[in-house]
Chain A
Amino acid sequence: DGGITQSPKYLFRKEGQNVTLSCEQNLNHDAMYWYRQDPGQGLRLIYYSQIVNDFQKGDIAEGYSVSREKKESFPLTVTSAQKNPTAFYLCASSKDRVNNEQFFGPGTRLTVL
């Protein structure tokens, strides 16, 4: 089955620690995205990548970093510089850059203790 996987589903981190969220897709999509959801807010774009070895900052990139070494993988690192990291994180991919219909993973809920 083709799709997007994110791991882990739940993640707990101590304040001051970096943590990496995994996102893998086997849909052969070129573009991948990371969103953050907070209560009462829409999905906000953190980073996106339209092609391997290239990525751009989204609207709320501060305190996050990404890499895109393989087409299938787009891991997100939440660094200790992110002031309010507790949130639900969604990864997505899209085949057609112009059409841009997105396919989403199941999400990771990150809680900072």
Chain B
Amino acid sequence: ILNVEQSPQSLHVQEGDSTNFTCSFPSSNFYALHWYRWETAKSPEALFVMTLNGDEKKKGRISATLNTKEGYSYLYIKGSQPEDSATYLCAFLGRNFGNEKLTFGTGTRLTIIP
């Protein structure tokens, strides 16, 4: 079973502050790294799918970077807003064609304090 770890487990951030958290994954047989946002009482929604080492993706105030050689990805949120409160999940997809399945981390639960 693959090991995908996220840290910290939870985080409280003052509104307006910026923050970041980490996803660690196996550096071998890498194919893709996904980030999802899961708000309370809603379904998880995809934020980014990253495939290339050094890739950086951005959606509004949220961005992510990827280092496949060392096996980590960072998610950054700039100028946190209350609507950013959610659990952020990362998921690793290994290079195992014919058997594609995501392995999820346990998530980082972010709470924005107004």
Contact = CB atoms under 8 A, between A and B. Distances in A.
Nearest to A58: B101
B49 A42 contact: no
A107 B43 CA distance: 7
Nearest to A42: B104
Contacts of B104: 35, 42-44
Interface residues of B, number: 24
Nearest to B90: A42
Nearest to B47: A101
Residue of A35, A58, A104 contacting most chain B CB atoms (<10 Å): A104
B46 A42 contact: no
A59 B102 contact: no
Interface string A14-52: 000000000000000001010100001111110010100
Contacts of B32: 99-100
A42 B106 contact: yes
| Interface range on chain A (Cβ under 8 Å from partner) | 20 to 34
B102 A45 contact: yes
Contact of B102 (A4, A98, A100, A106): A100
Given A41-B106, A42-B107, A101-B49, A48 B101 contact: yes
Interface of A: 4, 31, 33, 35, 40-45, 48, 50, 56, 58-59, 90, 97-107
Given A98-B100, A102-B36, 16 more contacts: A35-B104, A40-B106, A42-B103, A42-B105, A42-B106, A43-B104, A45-B101, A90-B43, A97-B100, A98-B97, A100-B49, A100-B102, A101-B46, A101-B49, A103-B46, A105-B43
6 contacts: A40-B106, A42-B104, A42-B105, A45-B101, A98-B97, A98-B100
